[in-house]
Chains A and B, each alone.
Chain A
Amino acid sequence: MTSTSEIEFEAKSADAAQDSAARVEGRSQWQLTWRRLRSDKVAITAMIVVVIMVVLAIAAPAFVAITHHPPDVAYPNTGENVAGNPVGPGTAGFWLGTDGTGRDLFIRILYGARISLFVGVVTTAIGTVAGVSIGLMAGYFGGIVDTVLARFTDAVLAFPYVVLALALAVVLGPSLTVIIGVISFFAWAGIARIVRGQTLSIKEKEYIEAARSLGAGPFRIMFSDILPNLLAPVLVLATLYIPQAVIFEATLSYLGLGIQPPTASWGNILADAQNFYQTSWWYVVFPALALLITTLAFNLLGDGIRDAMDPRTERVLAGRRRRRRRAPRLAAPSGGASPDFPDAARQAPQG
């Protein structure tokens, strides 16, 4: 009896030892990032705001069920006052008031969020995939491939994109597909350029040569050896691109070349609202606030992710001035060190 219990005890302690071994097991880059991000109150608040926005957008039909106000139905009797103007927040069951044709503004903002977030996420996803692939290929293959792809990237970046987007929307006719196409087309170039630059430096690392000596092909090297080293900057760029795409979509819709009424979009709600801003403040303020809060939250979240991924960088808003002041101090010791070790770099042991 005693012997069995002893064995059991030993087995248990062995388990415990394994458990603790598992606990000290290395944290991945993502786990570390998450730990740092969790302690960043601004980023966490921004993340919560983003999540709320997404949940509201997804749950828009549920609010229709609650308010019994479908997004495209006008209520000329309850939703407009005697002068034919929108009614204010809280009136007749319209939580945020109504718009120029007597539709529920709250519901329309929610449906606008669906479009805005969808366009923002989809165009960023397309732009990221395209930008990463093009940047990796340009950087890894070099030569003529690089020349063609990099010059094409530069050309896209140099384009006055609002003008081109307007022209395309006019020629092709405004539709969701055209908007997604146009915004995606301008999304990839910035990512491609950064990925190309990083690839150029990473491909000279010895572990890339090691992969080649194992017989790995170029695509395996690009996507399983180089890409993991690029995920941090790419993720940050992508997070920061979403709000840009949201604003781009709103701009096009505001100019009447994006989402067409009666489909709601923050841009076209704002365009309609400018006819009523003197009488109905809520008509302008609430869609504008939705746009502002969403883009601000995405931007702050992106900043937070950047800080968490690379603790050496500082928050953009606070950091810029400080960095400028610190720059000469940083330059001094490195300049002073080099005369002492003039050949340090050259003498690195290399056959």
Chain B
Amino acid sequence: MKRNLKIFNGILFVLLVILILSPIVLDDQFILNVLIQILMYATIATAWNLLGGYAGQLSLGHALFFGIGAYTATILHINYGISPWLGMIIVVAVCIILCAIIGLPTFRLKGPFFTLATIAFAEVARHLALYWRELTNGSVGINIKFDPSFTNMIFQKFDTYYLLILLLLVVTLFITYCIDRNKMGYYLKAIREDEDAAKTLGINATKYKMYALILSASITGIVGVFYAQFILFFEPESVFNINISAQVALIAIVGGMGTVFGPLLGAFIVIPLNELLRATFPEIHGMNYFIYGVLLIVIIIITPNGLYPILKKLWLRFFVKDSSKGAGN
């Protein structure tokens, strides 16, 4: 029995590796592009999930960290020749400082007030980026010259980008998995369910919320750097936009908040849906987003806890039925 399980696991694993490497082998740039988008959002959503799903603090301002990542690394790169790889580390430091400044006061707020505060912070950042033209080039945006090299973190083909973001995602998932199974995970979930009760049990809510925020923010910032090096052009509207924050949160919610793989699942649903809808109905203006809005409502109402728990239940039923069959024999 155990051997069968091991073989099954092994086959599954090999299948997965093949699937992951296939776009590179097939050299399909289009699929790679879509996958990179999906994985980017999956990474940010998984990071968001640490704060939103596990700690229960709903942030709609994650674009703040995304934009900080993009701008900080790029400004350092263009003005001082600092490689984006080093830039990523600097971005993490910046995010930590930012979290300390923002987190401490806002963690006193509950529910919608916390959310509104996060929106406000991201909006302030967006306006600052628009008006501090000497630093950010304002609304014209920043254009990174296409000069492929490893130190520049610019690559001719999408393959390397794909592997890079895949790595980021796996690391983020691993971090989430560890937290989920650990003391920190329990504390965060306790805080989410009832912060006051958790506090009476001796849990330092602010400390753990801050850990979650720092992890969440830093990862998002790093993806921001990746984005800048991938797209090679951005402006305040494209990185500090509230739509990015909303999309990230949506992905985590649709996929399943508070689960390790929920956001990943959500990304695989929401991003292709977006692309697909945009490609359809080019004649009727607005039809694509109208359907998107309606679908959003429907999905949210049908699966308020996300898709992942539902899939898990279905699988369990299937799985349990199987093993009981085996036992009966």
Decide whether A and B assemble into one complex: no
Interface residues of B (CB under 8 A from A): none
Interface residues of A (CB under 8 A from B): none
